[in-house]
Structure 1
Amino acid sequence: MKKFFTLVIFLFSVISWSQTKVEGVVVDENDDPIAFANVMFKNSTEGIITNDNGRFYLESDNTYKVLVVSLLGYTSQEIELPKSTNYNLTIKLVEGEELGEVVLYAGKQSKKNNPAIDILRKVWAKKRQNGLYKFDQYAFDKYEKIEFDLNTIDSTIIKSRLFKGMEFIFDHTDTSSVTGKTYLPMFINESFYKVFGDNKLKKEKEELLGNKNSGFNTNQTVIAYVNDLYSEYNIYDNYLQLFDKSFVSPLSKAGIDTYNYVLTDSTYRDNKWCYKIVYYPRRKNELTFKGQFWVNDTTYAVKEIDMQATKSANINWVKEMYIEQEYEVVNDSVFLLKRDYMLTDFSLNKKEKSRGVYGRRTTIYDNHVFDDEKPKSFYDKKIDPFNPVVYEREDEFWEKNRLEVLNEDEKGIYKMLDTLTTVPKFKQLYKAAEVLASGYFEFDKLNFDYGPLYSTYGYNPAEGLRTRIGGRTYKTANDQLRLQGYTAYGLKDHKFKYGFSAKWLIDRKNRIIISAGTRRDVEQIGVNLTNTNDVLGRSFASSALFTAGANDKLTNINLTTAGVEFEVFKNFKVRGGGSFRTMRSALPDDFSLSYADPGEPGGVADVTRQFETYVTLDYKPGRETIGYGVERRDQNDDYVHLFLNYSLGVKGILDSDFDYEKVQFYYRKPWMVGGFGRLQTIVEAGKIYGEVPLSLLNVVPGNQTYFSIFNTFPNLNFYEFVTDTYASVHLEHNFNGRLFSRIPLIRDLNLRELVGLRGVWGDLSDKNRALNAPANILLIAPSDKIYWEYSFGVGNIFKVFRIDFNFRGNYFDMPDARKFSVTGSFGFEF
């Protein structure tokens, strides 16, 4: 949702000019819309297919006087175009055309004896022999232009109070060449790269040489969103990863079961004889496209391809998505991607007249060089993540390296947007969007942010109603030093709590960071198995006003920590440090952390004091980040995460109570399972060597809230299972509507089905049981058999809600065991 709010405020697009524009709808004799009808300018190869609602928009730089509309099985219509711009046409097709030798391609097509599928099989066989794959090494220039626009501009929005004082921006409106809607450019970003690759080493390196933004030159949030939104894809892959979804590629081997294919034409394209194949989905509500592609008759390389996402595709906030790729013929056997264009119409709903935001990316590839071998060290060498020169290129650099020249309207956008950012009202709108996205209110002159606003109020049984204020130093997203702090007050216990942390990036190249912090607060320990020393992390003790069962197992914790970390190579961090913590029960009448201590009066201690030193290895292969300061923002979430921690507790230092060793392992991996959705997996294991009190043992994470929280057990109460040795697995698969799309009536709701399976095994030594005998809590570990749960969920309810039905698999005889629970969550996802 944070990204979506940012998107709604900062928009933009390319201005195009053409000589013939036509827009309308194709219907049958009953005035019902006709999908997949062919709309072409007469005596040309320029055309489009009508969408699910029979609508079309077609534009050309050439002048045409006649439009041809056809669908075999209907009588073709030739429509005279009296003007260069013709909107709101209604074209009626009548059934009954004599087909003769022409093949009918309305509806489902046969998979047998289909020449289009025969050609497609040859495309599969040749795909690893085409393009860049034909060479051992390659290099090329890459120019990328990303733009956002506010679309469906009319007199209502122009006269609205929202734009009062900013009317000058409407001098820059234009019409989309794909949808025919009027739009207003609001943001543009240009980038120029040098790309190097080695197919033998399976290495690729992309070096950013220039970056230019309109109006928001230092806004890393906008840049991060743009980069995250438009991920790379290859049409030859079986599945295209767009908006965290797996769309079936029309060139996929799975395409035969997903698409209808029809061979409709063959002709020369750039002096190469090519076949034209039209494709459209076999079923509704699946993540599919419709469109056409041209294939060369000898290399079976794709020369051109158009892909338009079907409106019934189960994807939120995207009304239209259109992709167009052109390939350059280098010689008789080499076809290289020359131009990649993608247009997305973001909107709250898919109604034809709804307003939204265009996001469009244009990528141009040129100046290819092949078989220039470079050593492996060239690809492994680190690149400075932020070179100021890259973001301060002069006009001469862009005039030389723009692979697609800006037209006059696009040049004017820079001036208009630079002016817009000086308008006070726009600054206010911009700041409001930033507050919604970040949760912080920024005081520019003080270089200070107040927040997070969403943590201002909370509740738990120990503190009652809780108020919190806090903030952070913030000049830019790339600050080398970040200070954060907060204070909170409980209206029931009448106690102040506080937290403070400092992080300083002292070496940007190797990302050497020193950090320290302290925290005194009420905490819900045992919400995760793998420990961290984040003193300002989320306080689960104050996360929910309503809980399942008594949420009284809370701890007063006083934690101080210090550490240093450095990046050995990209995404591999080593961190070391130490911490000292004091822990006692926040509700001693209901929850005891007492343990046996012969040195205390009565032989029982209620407070744990412990010094601990630690070393962690943290590896996230495949992660992409934005920024170069002490804090960086992830661009993607599909990377693997490996984490290994070794901790050593030392008795006597600062009056610490225990000697022990602790080893913990964490593994997270998301899997895109083709067209069957996304599987999230987490594996954890750990062991404590030595005797420790309950406050230092590993608690299997329960969930007594009514919220769905991954990597917890929703039918476990807090402290239901306690271990010193454990192994845990969590699996959750989101089918993204794959199953519901096959069920009539339900499929139109665009619901998404989820299934979950989770289990944990653990043990607790006799010595640890004896040490913690004074505690008034029954210590049980799932050692006799693996504890497990399963769940079924329905997501995308009204596009924002999710409900999970959770079932306990065993250990039904545990005290207050919950056999079944219902949890839910709220969020904005594509």
Structure 2
Amino acid sequence: MKQLLFLFLFFSISISAQNTLNGIVKDVDSNKPIPYVTIAFSSGEKLFTDVNGKFNFSYSDNNLPIHFIRSGYTKKTITHSVQFEKTIYLDPLSKEKRQAAELFSIENAEKIIAKVFQNKNKNNPQKAISRFEFKSYNKVTITANPDSIVGRIDSVYNPKKNKFKIDSSDYKFKKIIEKQHLFQTEKISQFQWEKNFFKETVVGSKMSGFKEPIYEVIGLKLETYNLYDDKYDLLESKYVSPISKIGLSDYTFQLIDSISVNNRPSYVLFFKNKKKINRKGLEGILFIDQENYAISKAIFRIRGILDLTSIHDYEFNDAKKLWFPSTTEIKIVKGKNDDPIKVLGGTIIFEGEYKNTELTRPKYASDFTYLDSKTSYFDLNFEPTSSLNNKTFTIEVLESAIKKDESFWDNYRKENLSFRDKNTYASLDSISMQRGIESKILFGRKIINGYLPVGPIDFDLKYLLSYNNYEGFRLGIGGKTNDRFSKKFRLEGYTAYGLKDETIKYQLGAATRIGNYSNSWIGASYTDDVSEIGSTKFNIDKRVFKIYDPRPINVSTFYNHQTWKGFVETKILPKTESIWQLNRSHVTPLFDYVFNLNGNLYTNYTMTTASVSMQWNPFSDFMHTPKGNFEVEKRFPKFTFQWTQSMPDVFENDFSFGKIDIRADYEKKYLNGQKTSLLAQAGYAYGDVPLTHLYNNQPNNLDRDRLLQRVTVAGKNSFETMYFNEFFSNRYVMLHFKHGFKRIELFKKVKPALVMVTRMAWGEMEKPEQHIGLNYKTLNDGFFESGIELNQIYKGLGLAGFYRYGPNQLSRFEDNIALKITFSLDLGI
């Protein structure tokens, strides 16, 4: 009897047993994959193959028959399990029938998508509802499927040493990945929408291997929440939305099926970019509610060096008659590229997919690594109890976010942590402590910005070595204290020595923090150094580290200044940074120059000034964290303002004058890879101002007879055909316009970027009689130059040519031409 009962149970289990099948659907004639084929089960459930025609699903015999359906092909039906194969082939219809089917599909899809566009504002929650809020739980995992890894120990031949060695890396990787993930982070956020402002407040954050999370990672925008926006964000890249006005003409649409989503019938539309230049851009399927033409589900795919798949699920809200996001999942693997894509210093290598199936590059264990991000949205509330008052920051990380206990996480997690999830936190936390991962990341951050941290001091690499025509080679050392010294106080300074002028320069300074929220500091310093004459400096400009700064090499006219400075720097005003300074400088020109003021001749002078320098980024998005504020999304234009005023009654001051400087930066990146940038800058010096503190308009050309003798490295925003000390002004305005085209691949490692450049400037000198000893011209009639840059031809090096024209054109043709070497190095700053 027991045996009969056992056989009955076994038979029952066998009848309902689930079969897992993964494979691909292909065209029987061309052998090419067919994307987004409908897989229809007898139960009424429907699935779709991905953009590569691949599928993966579980079924039982009760689900049979299963139909494979695609417009333009004959339907294929599987009635028995034995008929299933890894590759399902579909027979294309005759040419005439296929064209008719595709035409019917396209025409109907275009009618549907037109109605989607017409009803965008009605279906967009951020247009239809003035305010609402919700919470989200996000989990990001970098891992691999251990079942895909063989994990064997191989014997590898080393031709240099003429012997074999044991390679156990795959075996070790499989053992690790069976127990844990490579990286894992969780985040709980509250989102608020009110009056066209969308804010995220991070109430809980947990990151494996780190006591305190990397806040820049928290600020990453992995995907778009609102699919009705004109641009779709995926992994910090922007794409044209298929339901935007541009998208209607950029994409082709096909109606491939209909399906029920949340018990509401929906059309299923396949879309892809019709432009060849974007053939590897956004594509996917849209599920469109047949009643209100709203998005009820979406699957997006981007194929390139990395393959990204994003799935957006929605729930229909009966009260508001609107669809709201319920979950979003993003998966990233390596795309069709034979070269490994390394992330986090080579710790992670994304797997490749090959167009040519005959490629036999062996797959290593780490090739199966992928990134998976899942976000669940819940607690949707249309009547928030609190108003959204502070709109300075689009992301705010609460100080208590990293202090949450397990009961908090258990309350918000949408699924329990698996065995591997739990091990990831425990293992990586211990590894982090052993190897000092946090300190290594901090070290990397500082190196990128030009600092070498050694204990409590960050040594500044820009002081080590430089060159100019006056000092020759300049050797130095400098730096500032860091948080290991003190979080409230800092000391800074440098010393340098010019081998040509044989003079020591130095600076000493100190500051104390007076505000954490606004990151405000008050401090003082003393400097004895040289500066280029007529150079425009905005005190608020962020320090930019350059391994090689070409323009100062050719500068030969400097002045020495011995300067006492007191300052306050703060970010207390929304979306601004400002520095308030009081300076007293004793200035000595280091060239043949005399300043004539009412018959009094000055070869050196004392200047006491007060100044305020401010940068305003009104359209950028900012994140506030316990560690300070970060600009998480740069938007343009950006504005910079500086006012300097002499103070005759404070200390000593030889002259009465003032200066007003303004700058506007604009940059636009296009979805096709091109970029336009515009810089507008103006300055006005009034009163009695020596030439050392007027404007030279950033020249970058040598006064030499032959063209090839004038070849130098191009600057970022300098006039390449303007000679040093050729023009000076006490008021000026200049415009720089650049348009960069998408990089073109000429050879495997030669991918130049073509940039068109035009620059112009106007200026005048109101009191030329005051300046004795230096011959110069004015810019009353304007200065104009245009050029072409071929950047990054090879390893960051490029070539450029510029031509000078207009009223200040020179009589000899070749004197108006400047040939330049360009150098681009992206350090992620």
Structural mapping, 1:367-446, within 5 Å: 367-372=379-384, 378-380=389-391, 387-424=398-435, 433=444, 436-443=447-454, 446=455
Deviation per residue, 1:425-459 (Å, 9 max, x gap): 9689767755654443434xx4333343x653222
Letter in 2 for 1:290: E
Letter in 1 for 2:802: N
- Alpha carbons of structure 1 residues 295 and 685: separation in structure 2 relative to 1, 3 Å: same
- Alpha carbons of structure 1 residues 23 and 659: separation in structure 2 relative to 1, 3 Å: farther
Deviation per residue, 1:246-298 (Å, 9 max, x gap): 41212222223322210010121220100000112213332731111110001
Q: Look up the match of 1:251.
A: 243
Deviation per residue, 1:491-522 (Å, 9 max, x gap): 33333332344443212234432133333334
How far residue 224 of structure 1 moved from its aligned partner, in angstroms, is 0.9
Equivalent pair of 1:149/1:186 in contact (CA under 8 Å): yes
Q: Look up the match of 2:261.
A: 269
Q: Look up the match of 1:326.
A: 313
- Alpha carbons of structure 1 residues 818 and 238: separation in structure 2 relative to 1, 3 Å: same
Equivalent pair of 1:246/1:675 in contact (CA under 8 Å): no
SS at match of 1:698: coil
Equivalent pair of 2:134/2:190 in contact (CA under 8 Å): yes
Deviation per residue, 1:461-486 (Å, 9 max, x gap): 23323333233322379944443333
Letter in 2 for 1:773: I
The CA distance in 2 between the partners of 1:153 and 1:546, in whole Å, is: 55
Q: Look up the match of 1:726.
A: 732
Structure 2 gap ranges (5+): 1-17, 157-164, 335-340, 343-349, 354-360, 702-710
Within the alignment, does 1:490 sit opposite 2:498 as a pair? yes
- Which segment is superposed worse, 156-165 or 299-308? 156-165
The CA distance in 1 between the partners of 2:646 and 2:563, in whole Å, is: 15
Within the alignment, does 1:634 sit opposite 2:631 as a pair? yes
- Alpha carbons of structure 1 residues 374 and 455: separation in structure 2 relative to 1, 3 Å: same
1:466 aligns with one of 470, 474, 483: 474
Within the alignment, does 1:531 sit opposite 2:553 as a pair? no
Larger radius of gyration: 2
Letter in 1 for 2:120: K
2:556 aligns with one of 548, 552, 555: 552
Letter in 1 for 2:324: L
- Alpha carbons of structure 1 residues 340 and 517: separation in structure 2 relative to 1, 3 Å: farther
Within the alignment, does 1:449 sit opposite 2:458 as a pair? yes
- Alpha carbons of structure 1 residues 130 and 140: separation in structure 2 relative to 1, 3 Å: same
The CA distance in 2 between the partners of 1:648 and 1:451, in whole Å, is: 31
How far residue 76 of structure 1 moved from its aligned partner, in angstroms, is 7.0
Equivalent pair of 1:26/1:50 in contact (CA under 8 Å): no
The CA distance in 1 between the partners of 2:486 and 2:77, in whole Å, is: 59
How far residue 794 of structure 1 moved from its aligned partner, in angstroms, is 4.3
2:133 aligns with one of 109, 115, 139: 139
With a CA cutoff of 8 Å and minimum separation of 6, indicate the structure with the bigger relative contact order: 1
- Alpha carbons of structure 1 residues 546 and 371: separation in structure 2 relative to 1, 3 Å: closer
Within the alignment, does 1:611 sit opposite 2:615 as a pair? no
How far residue 115 of structure 1 moved from its aligned partner, in angstroms, is 1.0
1:657 aligns with one of 612, 633, 654: 654
Letter in 2 for 1:512: S
Deviation per residue, 1:673-712 (Å, 9 max, x gap): 5657443222222211112111110221223585554433
SS at match of 2:192: strand
The CA distance in 1 between the partners of 2:680 and 2:446, in whole Å, is: 36
- Alpha carbons of structure 1 residues 256 and 629: separation in structure 2 relative to 1, 3 Å: closer
The CA distance in 2 between the partners of 1:433 and 1:29, in whole Å, is: 53
Structural mapping, 1:14-413, within 5 Å: 20=20, 22=22, 26=26, 33-34=32-33, 36=35, 38=37, 40=39, 45-51=46-52, 57-60=54-57, 91=87, 96-98=92-94, 114-132=107-125, 133-149=127-143, 170-173=174-177, 185-198=181-194, 201-218=195-212, 222-225=214-217, 227-228=219-220, 230=222, 232=224, 234-242=226-234, 245-286=237-278, 288-311=281-304, 318-331=305-318, 333-345=321-333, 347=341, 352=353, 358-372=370-384, 378-380=389-391, 387-413=398-424
The CA distance in 2 between the partners of 1:163 and 1:478, in whole Å, is: 47
- Alpha carbons of structure 1 residues 208 and 707: separation in structure 2 relative to 1, 3 Å: farther
Equivalent pair of 2:730/2:763 in contact (CA under 8 Å): yes
Within the alignment, does 1:761 sit opposite 2:762 as a pair? yes
Equivalent pair of 1:240/1:246 in contact (CA under 8 Å): yes
- Alpha carbons of structure 1 residues 26 and 516: separation in structure 2 relative to 1, 3 Å: farther
Equivalent pair of 2:740/2:753 in contact (CA under 8 Å): yes
Deviation per residue, 1:523-572 (Å, 9 max, x gap): 44555x453277x956999823996xx53234434433221244443223
Structure 1 gap ranges (5+): 1-17, 175-182, 312-317
Letter in 2 for 1:393: K
SS at match of 1:711: coil
The CA distance in 2 between the partners of 1:227 and 1:22, in whole Å, is: 36
Deviation per residue, 1:318-357 (Å, 9 max, x gap): 4222222111111282100111223344726995379777
SS at match of 1:570: coil
SS at match of 2:420: helix
User: Once the two structures are aligned, what percentage of the paired residues are identical?
Assistant: 18
- Alpha carbons of structure 1 residues 707 and 39: separation in structure 2 relative to 1, 3 Å: farther
The CA distance in 2 between the partners of 1:796 and 1:233, in whole Å, is: 36
The CA distance in 2 between the partners of 1:19 and 1:476, in whole Å, is: 58
- Which segment is superposed worse, 327-336 or 698-707? 698-707
Deviation per residue, 1:71-113 (Å, 9 max, x gap): 6556777899999x99xx6x4858753478666678xx799x7
- Alpha carbons of structure 1 residues 533 and 488: separation in structure 2 relative to 1, 3 Å: farther
The CA distance in 2 between the partners of 1:493 and 1:798, in whole Å, is: 37
SS at match of 1:791: strand
Equivalent pair of 1:194/1:207 in contact (CA under 8 Å): yes
Q: Look up the match of 2:514.
A: 506
- Alpha carbons of structure 1 residues 819 and 646: separation in structure 2 relative to 1, 3 Å: same
SS at match of 2:720: coil
The CA distance in 1 between the partners of 2:751 and 2:659, in whole Å, is: 46
The CA distance in 1 between the partners of 2:562 and 2:170, in whole Å, is: 52
Equivalent pair of 1:759/1:788 in contact (CA under 8 Å): yes
The CA distance in 1 between the partners of 2:752 and 2:242, in whole Å, is: 24
Within the alignment, does 1:581 sit opposite 2:585 as a pair? yes
The CA distance in 2 between the partners of 1:402 and 1:721, in whole Å, is: 66
TM-score by length of 1: 0.78
- Which segment is superposed worse, 509-518 or 322-331? 509-518
- Alpha carbons of structure 1 residues 809 and 490: separation in structure 2 relative to 1, 3 Å: same
Deviation per residue, 1:183-223 (Å, 9 max, x gap): 9843333222222222xx3333332211211112335xx43
- Which segment is superposed worse, 645-654 or 287-296? 645-654
The CA distance in 1 between the partners of 2:222 and 2:49, in whole Å, is: 24
The CA distance in 2 between the partners of 1:185 and 1:707, in whole Å, is: 47
The CA distance in 2 between the partners of 1:570 and 1:546, in whole Å, is: 35
The CA distance in 2 between the partners of 1:336 and 1:828, in whole Å, is: 39
Q: Look up the match of 1:825.
A: 823
Equivalent pair of 1:515/1:562 in contact (CA under 8 Å): yes
Q: May I ask how many residue pairs the two structures share in their alignment?
A: 758
